[in-house]
Amino acid sequence: MKFYSTKNKQLRVRLREAVLQGLAPDGGLFMPEFIPAVDAPYLRGMTFQEIAMTLARPFTDGELSSNQLQEIIEDAFTFPVPLYPLSEDLHVLELFHGPTLAFKDFGARFMARLMAKFTVRQDRERLILVATSGDTGSAVASGFYAQPGMRVILLYPSGMVSKIQEQQLTTLGGNVTALEVDGSFDDCQRLVKQAFIDKDIREQCSLSSANSINIARLIPQSFYYAAAWSALPGSNTPLVMVVPSGNLGNLTAGLIARRMGIPILKFVSAMNANDVFLGYLEKGTFQPRPTIPTISNAMDVGNPSNYYRILDLYENDVRNLRKTVYGASFSDQDTQQAINQVYDQFNYMMDPHSAVGFLALQQFLSENKVNDWRQIILETAHPAKFKDIVESCTGRPVRIPQRLAVCLDKPKHAFTMSSLFSDFKEWLLSGAG
């Protein structure tokens, strides 16, 4: 299979290039040249790994042997993906059982192993530069941890990430180096972007980006949609799946799973105040805006990149997209009430992102009078990552999972760095990392 750029369908590359380049040279996003079909009923009774193999095979055909793909999948998905019932019709799909307690572990772990497979024969170590405001960085760093031929440099803004996030970013060690930058997230991003175009750095280092638009992060996210459908009883009742949305990667992966033939009738895209995509669904115009900070901060995206992939899948036809995707957005105050309501009603602790999903589902059900449909909310993060908010809404202590407790106890290791490019460059070229 080849992958084309959303800006130019004639520009086609192999999976290896698409994964190692991240972004197409013309600034477009890579898309598979066709969406392979799967026979959904055939997936019933399969393990998560078997479903992942079945879905991933056509994307990697000719690039990886079946054994290589199997190794990647078995090594990447070592944690459960439970579908937990809140009521007869409503389930939550818990996507937070990976090492960094958020669904981004699926994409990051798969991408890291795929890149390592494509790099292994090279003599030079591949250097992954990641600017992070918190969540994505920890999933990416943890995904690349101990991967052969890979070295990760994480840049984060000093004093601007939560204590939990900082511990997750700075305690891995090994092939992961954290740089605490005296500046903002934008400064971190600027340093990374400048490094990619700097001639001296490019000569000396083999750089790769691991940002959220990499196609290797999207493909594995389609696996859990298929797995959730196959695990759900009552196969003839329509199914709606609710996706807490920010950069729209998760939603795009769901739409791809549906296009493959997984019988998901509707998607609900749940947003916070950063609801540019809702504007598109309602008015048919896409107007990026500056980001607004909220308590569901992993969804604070004012210009969602994967919008262009959705346009591509639906051939710019917003009316057709509306038949499949319903959108809704909610305030922080609504979200806090929802965390409390879900706890009272179901005795279940939801993180703020999933709580936005709960609200969007209620609105969809009441507007469409389809309460008898089967409903799945994607639980994108563990409540312990947002401990303070969840505890203040429920009045109950949040249990900290062992894997997080261990990392909270480890000593922090980070190099401090100014926000001057000349300092960063000198440090990189000296091989200090």
Ligand X SMILES: *Cc1c(COP(=O)(O)O)cnc(C)c1O
| CA 85 – CA 82 distance, rounded (Å) | 10
407 secondary structure, DSSP code: H
Nearest CA-CA partner of 82 in 397, 384, 376: 376
Q: What's the closest the beta carbon of residue 281 comes to ligand X, in angstroms?
A: 14
Q: What's the closest the beta carbon of residue 356 comes to ligand X, in angstroms?
A: 9
Distances (CA, A) of 95 to 105, 193, 315: 9, 31, 30
Specify the residue, 198 or 275, whose C-beta has the smaller distance to ligand X: 275
Q: What's the closest the beta carbon of residue 136 comes to ligand X, in angstroms?
A: 7
- Site stretch for ligand X (CB under 6 A), options 34-42, 69-77, 240-248, 315-323: 240-248
246's torsion region: left (phi>0), alpha (psi -120 to 50) or beta? alpha
Q: What's the closest the beta carbon of residue 205 comes to ligand X, in angstroms?
A: 28
| CA 243 – CA 270 distance, rounded (Å) | 6
Among 60, 245, 274, 329, binds ligand X (CB under 6 A): 245
Among 105, 135, 180, 312, binds ligand X (CB under 6 A): 135
SS3 47: coil
Specify the residue, 139 or 417, whose C-beta has the smaller distance to ligand X: 139
Among 102, 127, 215, 384, binds ligand X (CB under 6 A): 102
List all residues 6 or more positions away from 164 whose beta carbon is below 8 Å from its beta carbon. 384, 385, 387, 404, 408
Q: What's the closest the beta carbon of residue 245 comes to ligand X, in angstroms?
A: 4
User: By CB under 6 A, what part of segment 247-276 binds ligand X?
Assistant: 247-250
- Site stretch for ligand X (CB under 6 A), options 64-72, 238-246, 325-333, 412-420: 238-246
Q: Starting from the edge strand earliest in sequence, which strands make up the sheet with 266-271, in order?
A: 83-85, 90-94, 374-379, 239-244, 266-271, 325-329
Residue that the structure tokens 């998560």 belong to: 48
Q: What's the closest the beta carbon of residue 193 comes to ligand X, in angstroms?
A: 20
User: By CB under 6 A, what part of segment 344-403 binds ligand X?
Assistant: 353, 380-381
Specify the residue, 114 or 298, whose C-beta has the smaller distance to ligand X: 298
Q: What's the closest the beta carbon of residue 336 comes to ligand X, in angstroms?
A: 16
Strand partners, 130: 154
Among 99, 143, 246, 433, binds ligand X (CB under 6 A): 246
Among 154, 169, 273, 298, binds ligand X (CB under 6 A): 298
Specify the residue, 170 or 221, whose C-beta has the smaller distance to ligand X: 221
| CA 26 – CA 212 distance, rounded (Å) | 17
| CA 52 – CA 32 distance, rounded (Å) | 17
Specify the residue, 118 or 224, whose C-beta has the smaller distance to ligand X: 224
Residue 395 has a CB neighbour count (10 Å cut-off) of 8
Specify the residue, 188 or 248, whose C-beta has the smaller distance to ligand X: 248
Chain residues binding ligand X by CB under 6 A are 102, 104, 135, 244-250, 298-299, 353, 380-381
